[in-house]
Every structure is written in C-alpha cells, then in structure tokens.
Amino acid sequence: MKKPKFTTSNIIFVIVIALLIIPQTRQPIQIFLQKGLAMISPSEISADKREILESYENWKLVDSKGNQFNFKQAEGKVVFINFWATWCPPCIAEMPSIDNLYADYKDQVVFLLVSNEKSKIINDFKSKNDYNFEFYQSVTNTPKQFQTTSIPQTYLIDKSGAIVMDKSGAANWNSDSVRKLLDDLLASE
C-alpha cells in the first residue's frame, strides 16, 4: 500500500475547507468570492419577453424611519427593487454597487431595497458600511410578480410597468450598461 502524499495543493485544499467550516471565516470568504461574481453586469430582458406589472395596488412598505410607502406612488416611474438580507453574502457583495448607483440616481429612480429583517439589524448594517440608500420592509404581501425564494433578487421596471431586468444573484449594478439603460429609460416617454 502506498502512503498518501501531502502535497502543497492538498494542504491548501484542507485549509480552505477548514476556513469555510469555521463560522467566523466563512462569511468573509463567501463575500470575497461573490464580489468576483458581482463584477458581471446584469442583462436586459428583450422587449418581446418583458412581463408587464398587473397592478401597482396593494403593496405597502415602511422605511427605516417608519414612513409609509405605497407602491402605487411608483407608477409611471423607473423603479429599482432589490430583495436582500444582511446575512446574505451575495447581497453584501453587491451592496457597494447599489449604493453607488443610488448616489447618482436617487432623485430620478425609485429605489426599493426590501428586507424582512428587523430595522435595528438593517440600520446597524447600513451604518457600519456607511450606505446612503433607504431600506424598506413589506407591510402587506409582496405582489406575485416579485415573490421570490432566493436573494438577492433585483428587478428594474420602466415607466410603463414593464420588467426590464430580473436578476437573481449578485451583480454589478453600477456598470456602464446599467447606467446607460437607466438613462434610456429615464429619457423615454
């Protein structure tokens, strides 16, 4: 019988597996890996395959300050909806790009970053990372077109209510292609 060889690659493999098992090191490693994946810019849905929102009615949200927001207020506007959580590595990986996009488009686009976590947890996360975007929590059921089982899940909606982007997973939301698309959507009637 041969004795197993302990090569450098075997030792590195064992160390990486051990680091992924330890809770304190798992999340930073996952976030690092997701940031690499989040460099990819999301793609636009072709015009003939876009789903139109059935209604802007019956979805009520509340922001971190307790202010009510009725989704009906977003009708006729360009809307960016992101479902996320503070514990989700892909969500954390894409947050800097969302915050940068928000900084430039917050007065023109309705940003709805929706989480079901407690306000204190989200406020602490937002403060720790110095993010400027507002977050929301659903007060009523999410419309069926936005019900998802995975996060992050992001939708970009044009002024007519068509879902222009539907992206599951981390992405670079501050890319040139997303900015060009937003500019085009904002310029359209």
CA–CA distance, 170 with 124 (Å, rounded to integer): 22
Name the β-bridge partners of 81. 112, 155
Q: Is residue 144 classed exposed, middle or buried when 0-12, 13-18 and 19+ CB atoms within 10 A define those classes?
A: exposed
Class of the CATH-defined domain 37-187: alpha beta
Q: What is the pLDDT along the chain (189 residues), one digit of tens a residue?
A: 666 666 777 777 777 676 667 767 666 666 665 555 556 678 888 888 999 988 888 899 999 889 999 999 999 999 999 999 999 988 998 999 999 999 999 999 999 999 999 999 999 999 999 999 999 999 998 888 888 888 999 999 999 999 999 999 889 999 999 999 999 999 987
CA–CA distance, 111 with 114 (Å, rounded to integer): 9
CA–CA distance, 133 with 103 (Å, rounded to integer): 8
**What is the model's pTM?**
0.80
DSSP, residue by residue, 28-82 = HHHHHHHHHHTTSPP-PPPGGGPPBPS-STT-EEEETTS-EEEGGGGTTS-EEEE
What's the confidence (pLDDT) of residue 114?
A: 96
Domain coordinates in residue numbering, the chain = 37-187
